[in-house]
């Protein structure tokens, strides 16, 4: 993971089919991601404390991730349709309530279809604290895990 300018911020390591590790560029652990069932994820910090969750209704072609931060705040990462490349971060479902406040966006672009190389641009508002932003970043790793082609467990994000 890096800034738009290319400054390295963090590394994602997929340790096996159900565990991933998000570490700072300096090497310290940011969050461990554990996958349960096809589309349910739990985040823990370097001490093993709960740091959030993410879950989707279905494994294939999911259009919404339901997030819960370590303090219990519920957020939704939703895209308008299956072909949309932008996910909106809100507290209410944009499909059910008119014009919810957008707290952030995740825009996905594909750089190499053959190897599954994708880029995720994450923007968040000042209304999120550091722990909430960490949950959002971890959920982007989950988005990649849900969106990658079958049998591509080593495809980079």
Q: What is the CATH number of the domain that holds 56?
A: 2.40.160
- pLDDT band of residue 113 (cuts 50, 70, 90) is low
Q: Residue 157 domain-assigned?
A: no
Segment 44-60 shows an average pLDDT of 84
What lies within 8 Å, CB to CB, of 40 at 6+ separation is 53, 54, 55, 56
The average confidence (pLDDT) of the chain is 83
Please name which of 140, 153, 151 lies closest in space to residue 33, comparing C-alpha atoms: 140
Q: Residue 87 domain-assigned?
A: yes
Structural domain that includes position 83? 10-147
CB 145, CB 20: distance < 8 Å: yes
Q: Residue 32 domain-assigned?
A: yes
- Radius of gyration for the chain, computed over Cα atoms and rounded to the nearest angstrom: 15
CB 114, CB 126: distance < 8 Å: no
Q: Residue 59 domain-assigned?
A: yes
How many separate domains does the chain show?
1
pTM: 0.83
Q: Residue 2 domain-assigned?
A: no
Q: Residue 27 domain-assigned?
A: yes
Q: Residue 1 domain-assigned?
A: no
Q: Residue 152 domain-assigned?
A: no
What is the C-alpha separation between 85 and 136, in angstroms, rounded? 17
């Amino acid at each position: 993971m890096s800034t738009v300018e290319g400054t390295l911020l963090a590394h994602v390591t997929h340790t096996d089919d159900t565990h991933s590790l998000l570490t700072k560029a300096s090497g310290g652990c940011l969050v461990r991601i554990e996958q349960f069932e096809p589309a349910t994820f739990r985040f823990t910090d370097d001490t093993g404390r709960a740091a959030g969750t993410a879950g989707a209704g279905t494994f294939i072609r999911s259009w919404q991730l339901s997030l819960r931060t370590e303090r219990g705040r519920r957020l939704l990462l939703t895209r308008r349709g299956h072909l949309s490349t932008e996910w909106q971060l809100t507290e209410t479902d944009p499909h059910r309530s008119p014009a919810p406040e957008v707290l952030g966006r995740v825009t996905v672009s594909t750089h190499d279809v053959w190897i599954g190389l994708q880029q995720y641009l994450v923007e968040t508002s000042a209304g999120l604290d550091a722990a909430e932003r960490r949950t959002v970043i971890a959920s982007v790793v989950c988005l990649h895990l849900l969106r990658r082609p079958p049998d591509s467990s080593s495809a980079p994000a």
